[in-house]
Amino acid sequence: MVHAGGHNSPGSNPNPTHMNKFAFGCAVVASIISIIFGYDTGVMSGARIFIQDDLKINDNQVEVLMGILNLCALVGSLTAGKTSDVIGRRYTIALSSVIFLVGSVVMGYGPNYAVLMVGRCIAGVGVGFALMIAPVYSAEIASASHRGFLTSLPELCISLGILLGYVSNYCFGKLALKLGWRLMLGLAAIPSMILAFGILKMPESPRWLVMQGRLEEAKKIMVLISNTEEEAEERFRDILAAAEIEEDGAVKAVGRGVWRELVINPTPAVRLILIAAVGIHFFEHATGIEAVVLYSPKIFEKAGVTSKDKLLLATVGVGLTKAVLIVIATFLLDKVGRRKLLLTSTGGMVFASTSLAIGLTMVHRFGRLVWALRLSIVSAYTFVAFFSIGLGPITWVYSSEIFPLRLRAQGASIGVAVNRIMNATVYEFSDNYEDDHDGRCVLHVRWNRGCSVVVLLLYVAGDERSAIGRD
């Protein structure tokens, strides 16, 4: 993995084994924005059925409704980096919350397709902001020894939100058609309001304050998010060095514009960092996680689960599996290391996608073979589990901690943009083969190749050189 300079290591922190409670609380509050995004993702997987029945829209309109989110998220992610550099991380989280709140209310109201599309577009911009700002803020308040844990909280909250969306589908799907899906979508406004109150207690990122020359404010916040004054002072000096600022506030060297330094004319080190960050976002989706999660109900249906309630419960099981494994991953990140978890994760995904392709092929060609049906179901759950133990959370941890401080926000926004493009691409490919049994099997073989490429790249990358020590 790519690593560019760091001034401390996990072992150099005065009290590396004890997590600061205030920093943990701030990361949790910031991650609420990720719950909102996850909820929207999960709830739409079931709400789309009820929306189509109620508004009498065709399949193409449903696909546009689903796909427009990623297009607007792309716009939001590219805007979020610059926004957070201008107004700060804290106010960017607040802005994201407001955008989600407005989008949720509009979608919940949704008297017709046009209004629903407007709400979906607004929510999409909020998605772009949320995916960028939550991991960046968490990384910037965390100590080096706990950065993996705190920075993986947004991914955990996305999975929790998806699970809550599935549960919402199951609960409100029993209500009257016109009411049920509107409640499903409108409930996303509740965590937005909770976040609005939480933001009042959250401090600004000390790293952003340093970049603005507000050193005294940054020092005070460092004391709050550190266990001792010695640790706070050490971390503060590391930030100053990373930002190329003297302790009296003078800038050591005047750099070029961020976009120029990041994209147009990067140094070899920055170019390598950008390739690594973009690459991990690309391969997160090139492994085909959407194809498995999105169409897991189809697999369960082929296995004889035909009741709508049971299908929804089976889907809840997928969400629960994802959430539980990410919880485990958060505790392993700073102990086991990124590279080992990624190798375990992608290696397991290769195995699971292979067995899933075999199971689906056997079911299609030879009928309802019990062993093949069970293999397909177990493989789907196994694939999600291995994704969640490594590649899922580490993608966001890695891309938010690898960039130098001055490039972090806008570098992370580029990663999110690639993430959304790949999400939409995989979704489109998978959707085209929804009713094509042979096509779905071929797709799983292709996703298997994506997993294999990741394993190969990680294996030849050498010893882990994560940015765990970077400020």
CB 410 within 8 A of CB 85: yes
Where residue 223 falls among pLDDT bands split at 50, 70, 90? very high
The dihedral through the CA atoms of 160, 162, 165, 170 has a sign that is: negative
29 CB contacts (<8 Å, ≥6 apart)?
195, 198, 199, 201, 202
CA 33/CA 196 separation, integer angstroms: 10
- pLDDT score at 196: 79
Domains present along the chain, CATH in parentheses: 15-460 (1.20.1250.20)
pLDDT digits (tens, 9 = 90+) for 225-271: 998 888 888 888 888 877 665 454 444 443 456 777 787 788 888 88
Q: What is the arithmetic mean of pLDDT over 118-123?
A: 92
Least Cα distance to 292 among 370, 353, 371, 364 occurs for 353
CB 293 within 8 A of CB 444: no
CA 415/CA 278 separation, integer angstroms: 5
Residue 14 has pLDDT above 80, yes or no: no
- Specify the range with the lowest mean pLDDT, choosing from 74-88, 253-267, 430-444: 430-444
- pLDDT score at 466: 44
Where residue 305 falls among pLDDT bands split at 50, 70, 90? low
The dihedral through the CA atoms of 127, 31, 400, 344 has a sign that is: negative
CA 322/CA 219 separation, integer angstroms: 38
CB 23 within 8 A of CB 175: no
Phi, psi of 267 (to 5 degrees): -70, 165
- pLDDT score at 2: 47
Least Cα distance to 211 among 86, 55, 332 occurs for 86
- pLDDT score at 253: 41
**DSSP H helix total and E strand total for the chain:** 21, 0
Gyration radius from the chain CA atoms: 22
Phi, psi of 253 (to 5 degrees): -145, 140
Where residue 116 falls among pLDDT bands split at 50, 70, 90? very high
Alpha-carbon torsion, ordered 321, 69, 427, 429, to 10 deg = 180
Residue 53 has pLDDT above 70, yes or no: yes
- pLDDT score at 7: 41
Cα–chain center distance at 78: 16
* Per-chain mean pLDDT for the chain: 79
Angle at 60 between CA 58 and CA 64, to 5 degrees: 120
Helical pair 113-141 and 59-87, crossing angle rounded to 10 deg: 40
Phi-psi region of 349 (alpha: psi -120 to 50; beta: other; left: phi over 0): alpha
pTM here is 0.76
Least Cα distance to 192 among 29, 25, 399, 45 occurs for 29
Residue 10 has pLDDT above 70, yes or no: no
Where residue 15 falls among pLDDT bands split at 50, 70, 90? very low
Burial tier of 253 (Cβ tally within 10 Å: 0-12, 13-18, 19+): exposed
416 CB contacts (<8 Å, ≥6 apart)?
73, 77, 80, 128, 131, 132, 281
Where residue 8 falls among pLDDT bands split at 50, 70, 90? very low
Helical pair 21-55 and 177-186, crossing angle rounded to 10 deg: 160
Q: What is the arithmetic mean of pLDDT over 310-331?
A: 83
pLDDT digits (tens, 9 = 90+) for 156-211: 888 888 888 888 888 888 888 888 889 988 888 888 888 878 888 889 999 899 88
CA 471/CA 241 separation, integer angstroms: 9
Alpha-carbon torsion, ordered 13, 465, 388, 74, to 10 deg = 100
- pLDDT score at 244: 64
- pLDDT score at 217: 92
164: which 2 tokens? 């809550």
Percent of the chain whose predicted confidence (pLDDT) is above 90: 9
Residue 370 has pLDDT above 60, yes or no: yes
65: which 2 tokens? 């409704």
CA 6/CA 470 separation, integer angstroms: 4
- pLDDT score at 247: 53
Burial tier of 107 (Cβ tally within 10 Å: 0-12, 13-18, 19+): buried
Highest mean pLDDT among 28-42, 79-93, 286-300, 416-430: 79-93
The residue ranking higher by pLDDT, 108 or 400, is 108
CB 326 within 8 A of CB 393: yes
Burial tier of 98 (Cβ tally within 10 Å: 0-12, 13-18, 19+): middle
- pLDDT score at 125: 93
- pLDDT score at 298: 67
Helical pair 21-55 and 59-87, crossing angle rounded to 10 deg: 150
Least Cα distance to 162 among 303, 298, 45 occurs for 45
125 CB contacts (<8 Å, ≥6 apart)?
72, 73, 75, 76, 79, 99, 103
